[in-house]
Amino acid sequence: MTVVDDTAGPGAAPMTRTQIREALTGLYLGIFVAILSSTIVTNALPTIVADLHAGQSVYTWVIIATLLTMTVSAPVWGKLADLISKKLLIQLGLIIFTAGSVLSGLATDAGLLIAARAVQGIGAGGLLALIQVIIATMIPPRELGRYSGYFGAVLAVGTSAGPLIGGFIVDTDWLGWRWCFFVGVPFAIAALIVLQRTLKLPVVKRPVRVDWAGTSLLTVAASLLLIWVTFAGDKYAWLSWQTAALVGGTVLLAVAFVLVERRAKDPVLPLWLFRSRTINLAIVASLVIGIALYAGSTFLSQFFQLAEGKSAAQAGVLALPLILSLAVASTIGGRIISATGRWKPILVAGSLLVGVGLAVLGLTRDDTAYWQLAIGMALLGFGLGTTLQNLVLAVQNQVSPRELGAASSSVAFFRSLGGTIGVSALGAVLASQVSRYTSDGLTQLGIPATGGGSSVSRPADLPAPIRAVVEGAFGHAAGNLFLYAAPLALVALVCVVFIREVPLRTSNAVRDDH
């Protein structure tokens, strides 16, 4: 297993196995900080938003700002990876991510924080897209299962441990919530140093043509879609002229995007990808899995704090069944795939577990026993751990090495898009339902409802009768969210069942069969 440095020229010495392991360490550090950035604020947000005197929409957009830019930038990073130095690109991604993290920690109001989070997301999008491509470039698909398992474990731990780390930071007086953004900076710098010393990849000599028109259309279309699902049902009705305008604009931009991509010399999302049944099914399944991933990590921590009155640190600890099951399933699943060469049974079982886990969590209320929540989280974690990276592996196995960037980033794009849409739409539903349940509960107590039930507050600061109403409202609404998401897992299961299993390649030889 030898590859050549893409920045040193064709005469560079091959990477040794030790260098590969060292490079993987840097890559895993990069993916850890990238995914950590999108979830570490979930437990801190009630404190952040309360300090900024903001509401549920700001709570949601501090998360969505990162997810949006991470989502729309990933295909651009992936396409550039097929054209120029992957090493240079991942270093640039780490620098942008670090700058966004520092700016987020220094933000003085909600607007600046959201803008800084958007910058952070651009860098994170590069890390998420490029790391998968780089690993697939170094390692053949048959061996990739094991390393994808490790990658998935790091991804899972970063996603689920973020709320735990953020909770402890917020609850530590001498740190404060700003360190939720500063904490990733040392990891990013360490990854930058390790990769500079160890990463050596095949030489790339292709002209650079960035599809700016396609990128712009994709960004605006995705943004309009997210704006619609975020504010529908809160700022305006689902059936309204605003909905018609936003949805209509999204459709028109999507059509324009397809027309532009058909003529582009180097499209940001190559349309030939969508001629493959495996890629289409994997993309749809990834979109659904993305919803389950981000819904679980985002709304479980909000449930523990706002429905059960736990501290941020306690909320992180209570989510450990999700974290541990994700990491264990991802690692074991990857080893099984590398040993057997079979990936479809793992995907089928994982998709089924995601649906069952969401259904169990759908029974959640503010007084639900923790053991029931733990079972639901564990089932969801096992399902996510066996599907996240293996859907990418199924796609990588069917494209040529020079197209790994576009194919891998396309799957990552739709997974992030699903997660972003899911968090945005479910966040809007949560705000609406919390407001309604709170108003109903206050009315039963003979207390006039003020219409502020959707705002993020600290229930512990409220009088006991009102606190019980607010916690009950959050508990009921959170359970409904998981119940709404459960049927979507059936979509992923159907897609996986119809994916044709192709034996994993044992080399990275160039193929032109797409």
Q: Which residues pair with 236 in a beta bridge?
A: 232
302 vs 308: CA distance, rounded Å: 9
- Provide φ and ψ at 155, rounded to 5°: -60, -45
* DSSP string for residues in 274-317: GG-HHHHHHHHHHHHHHHHHHHHHHHHHHHHHHTS---HHHHHH
Token digits of residue 153: 């474990």
The answer to whether residue 9 sits within a structural domain is no
Q: The dihedral of CA 303, 384, 57, 179: what is its sign?
A: positive
Percentage, residues of the chain above pLDDT 90: 8
Average pLDDT for 393-415: 73
Tally of domains in the chain: 2
User: 401 versus 192: which is more confidently predicted?
Assistant: 192
Residue whose tokens read 């929409």: 57
Q: Answer whether residue 36 is part of any domain.
A: yes
Here the CATH number for the domain that contains residue 465 is 1.20.1250.20
Pair (278, 237) in one structural domain: no
Q: Do 475 and 365 contact (CB within 8 A), yes or no?
A: yes
Per-residue pLDDT band for 53 (boundaries 50, 70, 90) equals low
Q: Tell me the pLDDT band of 251, cut-offs 50, 70 and 90.
A: very high
Residues 102 and 156 in one domain: yes
CA–CA separation, 194 and 44 (whole Å): 30
Q: Which of 263, 288, 323 is the last residue of a domain?
A: 263
Name the one residue in this structure whose structure tokens are 């950590």.
36
**Predicted pLDDT at 380:** 92
Residues 230 and 366 in one domain: no
421-448 per-position pLDDT tens digit: 777 778 778 877 888 888 888 887 777 6
Same domain, 158 and 197: yes
pLDDT at 8 over 70: no
491 shares a domain with 433: yes
Note whether 202 and 162 are same-domain residues.
yes
What are the tokens at 282?
């994997």
CA–CA–CA angle 134, 139, 144 (5° rounding):
100
Residues 230 and 313 in one domain: no
CB 243 within 8 A of CB 232: yes
Shared domain check, 276 and 303: yes
Residue 507 maps to a domain: no
Q: Which two three-digit tokens encode residue 38?
A: 């999108």
pLDDT of residue 223: 79
| pLDDT at 455 > cutoff 60 | no
Whether residues 243 and 387 fall in one domain = no
255 pLDDT more than 80: yes
Domain span at residue 160 reads 17-211+264-498
Supply the pLDDT for residue 167. Answer: 75
The answer, yes or no, to whether residue 128 has pLDDT greater than 90, is no
Q: Give me the residue label for tokens 């512990």.
A: 460
Q: Average pLDDT, whole number, for the chain?
A: 78
Would you say residue 10 lies in a domain? Answer: no
Whether 185 and 92 map to the same domain: the answer is yes
Q: At what angle do helices 110-138 and 404-444 cross, to 10 degrees?
A: 140
374 shares its domain with 468: yes
Name which of 96-110, 320-334, 392-406 the model is least confident about. 392-406
Tell me: pLDDT of 504 over 70.
Answer: no
Residue 462 three-state SS? coil
Q: What is the mean pLDDT of residues 254-261?
A: 91
Amino acid 507: pLDDT: 55
Do residue 195 and residue 221 come from a single domain? no
- In this predicted model, which residue has the larger pLDDT, 382 or 40? 382
End-to-end CA distance of the chain: 25
**35 within domain boundaries:** yes
Answer whether residue 6 is part of any domain: no
Identify which has the larger pLDDT, 132 or 372: 372
2 lies in some domain: no
Is 432 inside a domain boundary? yes
Distances, alpha carbon 190 to alpha carbons 33, 117, 378, in Å: 11, 21, 32
The reported pLDDT for the residue numbered 250 is 92
Q: How confident is the model at residue 26 (pLDDT cuts 50, 70, 90)?
A: confident
